[in-house]
């Protein structure tokens, strides 16, 4: 089985990095109770940290690293799609060159931090658009198109099918809060 390459925003790795780690963190507090006891308080999930190392090999290896570095300089969070893990909104926080670059070999490491926009998204006003044009003329009306999810579909696969990236799909579908949770019969807007 061949895995899909990792993708962040519009950048798709030519092949997957060779190592990955993902750290799941939970914030905890300890409260002292009389007589030598204590109580733990779960303060909730913290950001996930995704780290890895990779290499670009062959003609154009340094140019490929430069493309990845250009993505590092882009502001803001984007969708990080990994062939095995859940897709998440993340910030590209670290890119390290591991040795002197050569024209045919570049070793690098990277770090992404998961982004939680729950506070920001709860403050945005959401308006819904209707695609009904019954009794109205088509002139000037933007045509919306939807994909009906079938069992086995993923947003990653739908985005590839319609030549979109995950950020575009999520922008068109603000009702999708978790990009890893779509169900059969659900309508996903693609235009």
Q: Does 123 fall in a domain?
A: no
Q: What is the pLDDT of residues 100-109, one digit of tens each?
A: 878 899 999 9
Q: Say which residue, 63 or 152, is predicted with more confidence.
A: 63
Q: Are 103 and 148 part of one and the same domain? A: no
Q: Are 23 and 109 part of one and the same domain? A: yes
Whether the predicted pLDDT of 41 surpasses 90:
no
Whether the predicted pLDDT of 122 surpasses 60:
no
Q: Does 131 fall in a domain?
A: no
Q: Are 79 and 149 part of one and the same domain? A: no
- For 160, the domain range is 143-191
In angstroms, the Cα distances linking 120 to 123, 131, 164, 169 are 5, 27, 24, 19
Q: Say which residue, 40 or 139, is predicted with more confidence.
A: 40
Q: Are 16 and 107 part of one and the same domain? A: yes
Q: Are 160 and 110 part of one and the same domain? A: no
For the question of whether the overall pTM of this predicted structure is more than 0.75, the answer is no
Domain CATH number, residue 108: 2.40.30.200
Mean pLDDT (the chain) is 82
pLDDT reported for residue 1: 58
What would the mean pLDDT of 167-183 be, rounded to a whole number? 87
Q: Are 54 and 112 part of one and the same domain? A: yes
What would the mean pLDDT of 149-165 be, rounded to a whole number? 84
Q: Are 151 and 105 part of one and the same domain? A: no
Q: How many domains does the chain have?
A: 2
Q: Are 18 and 80 part of one and the same domain? A: yes
159 vs 166: CA distance, rounded Å: 6
188 vs 172: CA distance, rounded Å: 8
CB neighbours of 189 closer than 8 A, spacing ≥ 6?
Answer: 144, 145, 146, 172, 173
pLDDT reported for residue 117: 63
């Amino acid at each position: 089985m061949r895995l899909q390459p990792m993708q962040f925003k519009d950048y798709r790795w030519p092949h997957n990095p060779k190592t990955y780690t993902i750290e799941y963190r939970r914030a905890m507090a300890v409260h002292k109770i009389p007589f030598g006891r204590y109580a733990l308080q779960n303060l909730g999930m913290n950001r996930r940290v995704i780290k890895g190392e990779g290499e670009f090999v062959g003609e154009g290896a340094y140019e490929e690293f430069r493309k990845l570095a250009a993505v590092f300089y882009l502001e803001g969070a984007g969708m990080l799609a990994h062939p095995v893990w859940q897709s998440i909104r993340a910030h590209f926080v670290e890119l390290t060159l591991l040795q002197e670059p050569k024209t045919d070999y570049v070793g690098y490491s990277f770090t992404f931090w998961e982004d939680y926009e729950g506070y920001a998204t709860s403050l945005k006003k959401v308006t819904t658009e209707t695609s009904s044009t019954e009794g109205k003329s088509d002139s000037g009306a933007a045509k919306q198109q939807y994909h009906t999810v079938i069992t086995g579909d993923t947003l990653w696969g739908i985005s590839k099918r319609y030549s979109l990236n995950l950020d575009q799909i999520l922008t068109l579908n603000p009702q999708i809060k978790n990009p890893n949770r779509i169900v059969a019969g659900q309508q996903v807007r693609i235009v």
